[in-house]
């Protein structure tokens, strides 16, 4: 994916890739964290929310447990992000 500051469409694409199993959750979390934690960048509300959802996408309820957010929920976030972005 690109090195330019991502917008809602690219963030939603990462959410889709996670939900479909095309992107590793740990890699998606690190990608989002890299952008979200860069204090030099400014974000619109929709993109910031998308990054916040993606950052932590690899969390589990415990060792060996399923992810806190399943594929269906992640797909819903991607759809919501696209709808809010227009």
Q: 2 lies in a domain?
A: no
Whole-angstrom distance, CA of residue 1 vs CA of residue 75: 19
Across the chain, which distance is largest between two alpha carbons, in Å?
Answer: 38
Q: 1 lies in a domain?
A: no
Instruction: Please tell me the predicted confidence (pLDDT) of residue 63.
Output: 84
Instruction: Please tell me the predicted confidence (pLDDT) of residue 52.
Output: 97
Fill in the DSSP letter of residue 64. Answer: T
The number of distinct structural domains making up the chain is: 1
Q: 57 lies in a domain?
A: yes
Instruction: Please tell me the predicted confidence (pLDDT) of residue 3.
Output: 77
Instruction: Please tell me the predicted confidence (pLDDT) of residue 51.
Output: 97
What residue numbers bound the domain in which 24 lies?
A: 8-85
Collapsing DSSP to helix, strand or coil, 1 comes out as coil
**pLDDT per position in the chain (86 positions), as tens?**
557 899 999 999 999 999 999 999 999 999 999 999 999 999 999 999 999 999 999 999 888 889 999 999 999 999 999 999 98
């Amino acid at each position: 994916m690109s090195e330019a500051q991502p917008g809602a469409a690219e963030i939603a694409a990462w959410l889709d890739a996670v939900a479909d199993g095309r992107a590793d959750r740990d890699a998606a979390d690190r990608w989002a964290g890299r952008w979200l934690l860069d204090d030099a960048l400014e974000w619109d509300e929709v993109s910031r929310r998308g990054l916040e959802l993606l950052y932590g996408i690899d969390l589990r309820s415990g060792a060996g447990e399923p992810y806190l957010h399943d594929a269906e929920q992640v797909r819903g976030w991607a759809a919501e992000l696209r709808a809010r972005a227009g």
